[in-house]
Amino acid sequence: MTNAAALPGQPRGGVLSGPATARAVNVLAPNASAMTLDGTNTWILAEPDSDLAVVVDPGPLDDAHLRRVVDTAERVGKRVALTLLTHGHPDHAEGAARFAELTRTNVRALDPALRLGEEGLAAGDVIAVGGLELRVVPTPGHTADSLCFHLPADRAVLTGDTVLGRGTTVVAHPDGRLGDYLDSLRRLRSLTADDGVHTVLPGHGPVLEDAQGVVEYYLAHRAHRLAQVETAVEDGHRTPGEVVAHVYADVDRSLWPAAELSVRAQLEYLGEHGLIQLPD
- Residues with catalytic annotation? 91
Query: How many angstroms from the chain centroid is the CA of residue 34?
Result: 15
CA triple 223-226-232, angle to 5 deg: 145
Question: Which 3-state string (H, E, C) describes the chain?
Answer: CCCCCCCCCCECCCCCCEECCCCEEEEECCCCECCCECCCEEEEECCCCCCEEEEECCCCCCHHHHHHHHHHHHHCCCEEEEEECCCCCHHHHCCHHHHHHHHCCCEECCCHHHCECCCCCCCCCEEEECCEEEEEEECCCCCCCCEEEEEHHHCEEEEECCCCCCCCCCCCCCCCCHHHHHHHHHHHHHHHHHCCCCEEEECCCCCECCHHHHHHHHHHHHHHHHHHHHHHHHCCCCCHHHHHHHHCCCCCHHHHHHHHHHHHHHHHHHHHCCCCCCCC
Choose among 125, 126, 109, 107: nearest CA to 117. 107
Scored b (16 or more CB within 10 A) or e, 37-51 reads bbbbbbbbbbbeebe
